[in-house]
């Protein structure tokens, strides 16, 4: 059994004995077991869906490759521009960090001769960012500044030297991505890479408050809806980013079904529910994605005991 499936089973089936039984069913080719006898002291909880083995990455993710990016964006973007072509060969990215670490555009600058505007709000990173610019003969304009919507300047403020149609815009600020992209007026990038919160299920629209001090992000669905309003179609989804292409160019990619349901094979399916007695259970979210703290259902309880009395009262 491959590691990917083993990791999936470990994430959704905490009990080792249950996991072992599910594994044996899959290995024997009998599919996902529909019923398992619950243990005496704890309830049995499982997804009704088919085997995770049937889920595969689709769309442009087959081109995923990392040179500097984090989740395969380098290879996906290389493929997109091999199909739609590069025009301005100009890219914009913020927060840029040192210009290399987890960058979605540095591969295009270093290996394909592009120019870029890189914006970084952390002044302590600027020396490293300027050094990176020197490594590519100054083809990077390194700017120290924060992009925002109220407290900090709008993205448009920084784009005075930017082409009206830069080939790519990469947005990564751990929170305000939705609002910053929504505010963009002065240019129309052909491709937009925008960070999303991958802990939010695909059927939830979540947009954090317009507050630079909040770091919650936006759900994939919310950003897909915004993309449609701004004239973009979803082309790919990675572990932390959505890749959009201008509607005028999208058909060239030959993607027949660009729905989240089709492209996001490992979308979270976390659930929270309660029983007749008021006890709360969680499923599909064993730990926090950031920080790694385990989620203990006992810490979520409102009642100290769980007993059912006369069918409608809690003791």
Q: pLDDT tens digits for 240-265?
A: 999 999 999 999 999 999 999 889 87
158 and 108, same structural domain? yes
289 and 195, same structural domain? no
pLDDT at 234: 97
Output the average pLDDT for the chain: 85
Bigger pLDDT: 36 vs 181: 181
131 and 273, same structural domain? no
Instruction: Examine the pLDDT at 64 and tell me if it is beyond 90.
Output: yes
Q: Which domain holds residue 4?
A: 1-54
pLDDT at 300: 81
- DSSP letter for 231, please: T
Report the percentage of the chain scoring pLDDT > 70.
Answer: 80
Tokens read off for 166: 């830069």
Instruction: Examine the pLDDT at 56 and tell me if it is beyond 50.
Output: no
Range list of H helices, the chain? 3-12, 16-27, 73-84, 106-112, 126-135, 177-183, 220-229, 247-250, 260-263
156-164 average pLDDT score: 95
142 and 129, same structural domain? yes
Instruction: Examine the pLDDT at 12 and tell me if it is beyond 60.
Output: no
247 and 159, same structural domain? yes
Instruction: Examine the pLDDT at 122 and tell me if it is beyond 70.
Output: yes
Among 12, 3, 2, 17, which Cα is nearest to 50's?
12
To the nearest 10°, report the CA torsion of 159, 162, 164, 168: -100
Q: What is the pLDDT of residues 194-206, one digit of tens each?
A: 999 998 988 999 9
Q: C-alpha 115: how far from its chain's center?
A: 26
Instruction: Examine the pLDDT at 36 and tell me if it is beyond 90.
Output: no
Whether 236 contacts 250, CB under 8 Å: no
Instruction: Examine the pLDDT at 28 and tell me if it is beyond 70.
Output: no
pTM: 0.81
177 and 93, same structural domain? yes
39 and 75, same structural domain? no
- DSSP letter for 23, please: H
28 and 80, same structural domain? no
151 and 16, same structural domain? no
281 and 246, same structural domain? no
Residues 6+ apart with CB under 8 A from 106: 67, 68, 99, 100, 116, 132
């Amino acid at each position: 059994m491959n590691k990917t499936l083993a990791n999936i089973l470990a994430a959704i089936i905490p009990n080792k004995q249950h996991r072992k039984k599910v594994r044996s069913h899959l290995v024997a080719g009998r599919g996902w077991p529909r019923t398992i006898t619950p243990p005496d002291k704890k309830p049995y909880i499982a997804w009704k869906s088919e085997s995770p083995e049937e889920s595969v990455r689709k769309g442009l993710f087959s081109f995923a490759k990392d040179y500097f990016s984090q989740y395969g964006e380098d290879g996906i973007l290389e493929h997109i521009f091999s199909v739609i072509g590069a025009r301005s060969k100009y890219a914009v990215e913020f927060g840029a960090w040192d210009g290399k670490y987890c960058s979605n555009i540095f591969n295009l600058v270093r290996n394909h001769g592009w120019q870029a505007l890189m914006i970084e709000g952390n002044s302590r990173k600027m020396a490293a960012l300027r050094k990176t610019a020197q490594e590519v003969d100054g083809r990077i304009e390194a700017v120290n500044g924060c992009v925002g919507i109220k407290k900090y300047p709008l993205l448009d403020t920084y784009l005075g030297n930017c082409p009206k149609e830069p080939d790519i815009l990469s947005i990564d600020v751990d929170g305000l991505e939705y609002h910053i992209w929504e505010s963009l007026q002065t240019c129309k990038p052909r491709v937009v890479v925008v960070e999303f919160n991958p802990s939010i299920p695909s059927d939830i629209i979540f947009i954090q408050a317009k507050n630079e001090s909040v770091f919650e992000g936006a759900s994939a669905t919310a950003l897909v809806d915004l993309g449609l309003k701004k004239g973009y179609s979803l082309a790919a989804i990675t572990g932390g980013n959505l890749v959009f292409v201008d509607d005028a160019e999208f058909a060239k990619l030959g993607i027949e079904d660009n729905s989240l349901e089709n492209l996001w094979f490992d979308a979270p399916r976390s659930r929270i529910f309660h029983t007749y007695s008021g006890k709360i259970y969680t499923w599909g979210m064993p730990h926090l994605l950031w920080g790694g703290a385990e989620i203990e259902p006992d810490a979520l309880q409102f009642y100290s005991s769980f007993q059912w009395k006369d069918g409608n009262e809690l003791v």
